[in-house]
Amino acid sequence: MPEPAPARERVPDARGGSDAQRARAAQAAAARTQRSKALARRRRTTTMLFAAFTLGAVAAAVGGLAFLWVPAVPAVLLSAYIVYLRSQERRRFAYQMDRRQAEAAAQRLRERERPPRRRPSVEDADADEPEGPEAGVVTDPDLTALAADRRALVEQTDHAEWVDQQRERRRRPGRAATAGTRSRCRCPRM
């Protein structure tokens, strides 16, 4: 008869993460560190170029027309550096957008390949069976978030229509006495 595994092997890691999760977290931390170092380097470079420009402006003010070229050198370098940074950020943004679009396309493809779930109609539903999350049905959080967004939009639209109806009732002829009074709706006037 085999011996039971030691307690350490049977109990999952107390921190709750697998090796893959820890590796991803470490990779994300390394990326954040690299990004913060790059931003610090950019700040130092622009600060030094501004300081050089300021010193050049002081030298030109003290030295006269002969030293007018001194602030121009750091100004040109700063302008070139800003152009370089903007092109770099534009490439980074394009890369991120491409990656997001690829992720969204892959998600749509996965959803398309997944067989559609059949939802029982109202007539088919048993009155004794619970509905929704109580039924034990695993729901996709993306779908529930999308449904919540849609419900919020519908409620918002319904409320806006109700406010419009209230305003229209106040504007009708024969109701001039109530036209100047405030309604009970505490929503902002549109």
Same domain, 24 and 88: yes
Contacts of 139 (CB under 8 A, 6+ apart): 133
Q: Do the domain assignments include residue 187?
A: no
Q: Do the domain assignments include residue 62?
A: yes
Give the pLDDT confidence of 111-130 residue by residue, as tens digits. 888 766 665 555 555 555 55
Residue 74: burial class (beta carbons within 10 Å; 0-12, 13-18, 19+): buried
User: What pLDDT, on the 0 to 100 scale, is given for residue 36?
Assistant: 92
Same domain, 149 and 73: no
Q: Do the domain assignments include residue 150?
A: yes
Same domain, 100 and 58: yes
Q: Do the domain assignments include residue 133?
A: no
Last residue of a domain, one of 112, 136, 157: 112
Q: Do the domain assignments include residue 149?
A: yes
Same domain, 148 and 91: no
Q: Do the domain assignments include residue 41?
A: yes
Q: Do the domain assignments include residue 127?
A: no
List Cα–Cα distances, 170 to 159, 163, 165, 187, in angstroms: 17, 11, 9, 16
Range of the domain at 160: 144-173
Give the pLDDT confidence of 2-41 residue by residue, as tens digits. 455 554 444 444 455 588 889 889 988 998 999 899 999 9
The full 3-state SS of the chain, as one line of letters, equals CCCCCCHHHHCCCCCCCCHHHHHHHHHHHHHHHHHHHHHHHHHHHHHHHHHHHHHHHHHHHHHCHHHCCCCHHHHHHHHHHHHHHHHHHHHHHHHHHHHHHHHHHHHHHHHHHCCCCCCCCCCCCCCCCCCHHHHCCCCCHHHHHHHHHHHHHHHHHHHHHHHHHHHHHHHCCCCHHHCCCCCCCCCCCC
Same domain, 59 and 106: yes
Q: 177 pLDDT band (50/70/90 cuts)?
A: very low
Into how many domains does the chain fold? 2
Same domain, 150 and 98: no
Give the pLDDT confidence of 77-106 residue by residue, as tens digits. 999 999 999 999 999 999 999 989 998 888
